[in-house]
Every structure is written in C-alpha cells, then in structure tokens.
C-alpha cells in the first residue's frame, strides 16, 4: 500500500509522525510525506531549507516533499499566515503532483487547517482519508487565542465537520477525545455529526530509544551535585502551565527545601518564563538547557529524580494525554503531574507518582516534598510501575497491529 501522509510538521522537526512513517516503511508500506518547510518551534526556516532549497529528500525510506510556506515567526499574525500558506500551497501541490497513493493519512496537531489539502486530494483521487487527531478544534483556538467571536467559531466548526465527514477513520489520542467527538456539540451537528464507528482510540507510544538507561556519562550541561532534581522536557508554551513552577520554587526556597528544576526545551513562553523566574528570585533553582534531540532525553532523565508534567487550567486539557507522559513512563520515571482528567487517571492507575490539580502551587510544593522524602528504592518502584503500565497500554507493536487491521478492514468495506 502506498500512503500519502500530510503533516504540516515533519523531519527534521521532531514529531512522533516521523517514527510512525518509519515503522510503516519497515512493515512494507510505501510512504510519501507532504509537509512544510521546517521551522518549528523557532519560527524560522532550518539551515539548508527554504523556498528554493532542499524541497524534497528521502529519510528512513520516506519520500518527503517540503511545500513553500511562510515561517511561523514570533507573532500571532505570522502564525496565521503560516497556517494559511500551508493550505494554499497544499492546494496547489495536490492539483499538480504526480504522486499516486492508495490512501491519505493526516497527522493533526494544530492547526486543523492542514487537513484540508489532504481531504481535497483524497476526494480528487477517490481514495480514503484517515486523520489522527492530537488537538481538538475549535476548542484549542478559543483557548490559545482568546477569540470567542461566534461567527469565526462557527466557521471553524463548519470546517472541522467537513474534515471529519470526509475522513474514513478518525484516530484519537485519548478516551475523552473519543467521547467528545462522538457527542460533538457542533453548530452543524443536526446536519452532519460524527459517526461513532469512525472514532478510534489509538494512544501515542514512546519511540524505542525511550527506555531506562544507566548512569554512565552525565551530560556536560547537567548540574554536578546531589540536589533533588525535577525535570520537564518538551514545548515550553502557554498551554503547559509552567508559570506555576516559579511560585513552587519560591515556596520551596522559603521552606529551605533544596530542589532544582531542569527545563529541557524551548517555546513561545520561554522569554516570559525567564522573567517569571527572575521576578520570583529563584534563578539559582532553574537550569534552562534548551532544545535537545529526543534520543538524548533518556540520558538526562536518568540523572533526575522526578519527571514533571503540567497543563494550564482549562477543561480541554483534562481530555489530553501529553506525548511526554508515555516517554517518561517508558523511561521508568516517577511522575509529578499538575493535571486532571486523562493524565490524572493514568498516573494514579499506574501508581507511578503524584497528581495535583492545575493551579494549586502550594499542593505542588507539598507533593515535591513528599517525593523528595521518599527513599531511592521507593521512587525506583514508582518508575518500575510506570514502565510496566506503558508496556501494557502503549506498546508500539500492538498499536500498529490494531491500526493495520482497521485500515485493512476499511479498505475491504470500500471495495465492497
């Protein structure tokens, strides 16, 4: 089978779709990717890439086409242009490309608009289109932008319904996403709606390099001391709710608790985050290590005591399972989560750490002290439970077998 994957972000940008495509190739599929010119998360084109440079390449057996887009930049206006330019370029590409796949697959992180060229391509070629939903729209738009204009939200709602209606299978990352889509309160619900049989729970998994490793060579930028360390990895955005950490650190400092926070990643909140840390007078408790390759992360985690997950206060995040949760668990890390809903359910079911409601920095401080007071063996046991849960519920090979069966069955339904 020849799969066309549409994802606005792809290699050398680091998203899990890279590994999904690599696995499909290993399983005998032919895979072509239509994506943008890499610019996430810095907002500028990666070195060596551009409108007239390196527009196509082959990586891990995957043929990649980088279509022209406007880079994300650092402003909201540029971000909107980035979204729109991908749709326009995608429309042109689908109209003239000679690629002839058997099926289209959309990896949908925000923006949902990236699915439009995929749907149009599938409709034109009369082939099935599947979508893997990471972010819910229009809910994410309202949270991220603060826009609540009913006409704009209705327009986005109509677009989302159009995409779902034209997809054969809708894969989602959490059970809450599944329930939400099945009972979607859309402006156009009475006309269109989403068939329950379309929506399939397919959680994210951690790549094979996410696994416990030995304390052999400490990264040079890791602090060389025995102070209790809490690590966060990934996008440093506003949705992550990291503004709680300077408050937690200030309270820990006041109570003379020695702790350090290791932050690995970059994002739109980073500059404000630095200012919040300085304002709280806790710069000595934070180590901002910047962006690292995913393959490097396990060797940073092993030198820390607890892995941290948090979300901003919003109901939409109660339905979300962040990809870093599977990565932390696969590496056998005890977890401190400032979250509710799906994340809370998983951490508590696994018995691999502590969970605090979003926004309660005093309770986060108390949980840090409890985890710090645990013996190394107790924290190791939490990590073992995390790893066991990940293997039971987020096993890569089992998940691919499920997806292959669903795609094969839906192909047979179409041919019938």
State the pTM of this model: 0.88
What's the farthest any 2 CA atoms get from each other in the chain? 70
Cα–Cα nearest to 51, from 64, 35, 68: 68
> Residue 174 in 3-state DSSP?
coil
Q: Which fold has domain 228-393?
A: Rossmann fold (3.40.50)
Q: Is the pLDDT of residue 298 over 60?
A: yes
279 sits in which H/E element: helix 270-280
Q: Is the pLDDT of residue 144 over 80?
A: no
Name the CATH code of domain 2-205+395-415 (choices 3.40.50.300, 3.40.1050.10, 3.40.50.2000, 3.40.50.1820): 3.40.50.2000
Q: What is the pLDDT of residues 264-282, one digit of tens each?
A: 998 889 999 999 999 999 9
Say if residues 202 and 402 touch (Cβ distance below 8 Å).
yes
- List 132's β-bridge partners, or say none: 107, 171
Q: What is the side-by-side order of every strand in the sheet holding 2-6?
A: 56-59, 62-67, 30-36, 2-6, 103-108, 129-133, 169-172, 199-201
Q: Is the pLDDT of residue 7 over 70?
A: yes
Q: What is the pLDDT of residue 191?
A: 45
Q: Is the pLDDT of residue 140 over 90?
A: no
Residue 27 structure tokens: 């399983």
The residue-averaged pLDDT of 24-50 equals 95
Q: Domain spans of the chain?
A: 2-205+395-415, 228-393
Confidence band of 187 (pLDDT split at 50, 70, 90): low
E strands, 266-323, where? 286-290, 306-310
Q: For 9-23, 182-196, 233-247, 373-387, which range has the lowest pLDDT when averaged over its residues?
A: 182-196
Q: Is the pLDDT of residue 292 over 90?
A: yes
For all residues of the chain together, what is the average pLDDT? 92
The residue-averaged pLDDT of 356-367 equals 91
Q: What is the pLDDT of residues 97-121, one digit of tens each?
A: 999 999 999 999 989 999 999 999 9
Is the fold of 2-205+395-415 the same as that of 228-393? yes
Distances in whole angstroms, Cα of residue 298 to Cα of each of 63, 218, 294, 374: 29, 11, 8, 22
The residue-averaged pLDDT of 177-196 equals 70
Q: What is the pLDDT of residue 83?
A: 95
Q: What is the pLDDT of residues 371-384, one digit of tens each?
A: 999 999 999 999 99
Residue 4 structure tokens: 């066309």
Q: What is the pLDDT of residue 148?
A: 77
Q: What is the pLDDT of residue 193?
A: 55
Q: Is the pLDDT of residue 236 over 60?
A: yes
More confident residue, 77 or 189: 77
Confidence band of 190 (pLDDT split at 50, 70, 90): very low
């Amino acid at each position: 089978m020849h799969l066309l994957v549409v994802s606005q972000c792809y290699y050398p940008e680091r998203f899990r779709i890279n590994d999904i495509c690599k696995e499909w190739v290993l399983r005998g599929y032919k895979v072509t990717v239509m994506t943008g010119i890499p610019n996430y998360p810095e907002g500028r084109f990666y070195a060596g890439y551009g409108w007239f440079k390196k527009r196509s390449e082959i990586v891990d057996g995957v043929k990649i086409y980088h279509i022209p887009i406007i880079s994300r930049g650092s402003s909201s206006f540029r971000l909107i242009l980035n979204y729109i330019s991908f749709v326009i370029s995608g429309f042109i590409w689908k109209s003239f490309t000679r690629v002839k796949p058997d099926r289209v697959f959309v990896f949908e992180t925000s923006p949902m608009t990236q699915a439009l060229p995929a749907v149009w391509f599938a409709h034109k070629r009369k082939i099935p289109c599947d979508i893997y939903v990471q972010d819910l729209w229009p809910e994410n738009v309202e949270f991220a932008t603060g826009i609540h204009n009913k006409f704009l939200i209705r327009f986005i709602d109509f677009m989302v319904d159009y995409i779902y209606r034209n997809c054969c299978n809708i894969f989602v990352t959490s059970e809450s996403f599944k329930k939400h889509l099945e009972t979607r309160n859309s402006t156009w619900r009475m006309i269109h709606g989403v068939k329950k049989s379309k929506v399939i729970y397919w959680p994210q998994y951690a790549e094979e390099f996410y696994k416990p490793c030995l304390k052999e060579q400490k990264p040079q930028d890791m602090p060389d001391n025995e102070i209790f360390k809490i690590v966060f990895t990934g996008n440093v955005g506003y949705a992550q709710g990291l503004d709680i950490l300077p408050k937690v650190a200030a309270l820990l400092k006041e109570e003379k608790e020695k702790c350090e926070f290791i932050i690995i990643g970059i994002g739109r909140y980073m500059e404000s985050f630095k200012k919040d840390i300085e304002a709280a007078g806790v710069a000595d408790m934070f180590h901002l290590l910047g962006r690292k390759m995913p393959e490097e992360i396990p060797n940073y985690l092993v030198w820390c005591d607890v892995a941290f997950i948090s979300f901003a206060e919003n109901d939409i995040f109660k339905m979300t399972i962040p990809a870093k949760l599977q990565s932390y668990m696969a590496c056998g890390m005890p977890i401190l989560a400032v979250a509710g809903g799906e994340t809370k359910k998983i951490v508590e079911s696994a018995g691999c750490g502590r969970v605090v409601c979003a926004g309660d920095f005093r309770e986060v401080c108390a949980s840090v002290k409890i985890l710090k007071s645990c013996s190394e063996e107790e924290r190791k046991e939490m990590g073992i439970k995390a790893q066991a849960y990940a293997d039971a519920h987020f096993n890569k090979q089992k998940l691919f077998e499920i997806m292959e069966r669903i795609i094969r069955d839906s192909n047979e339904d179409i041919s019938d």
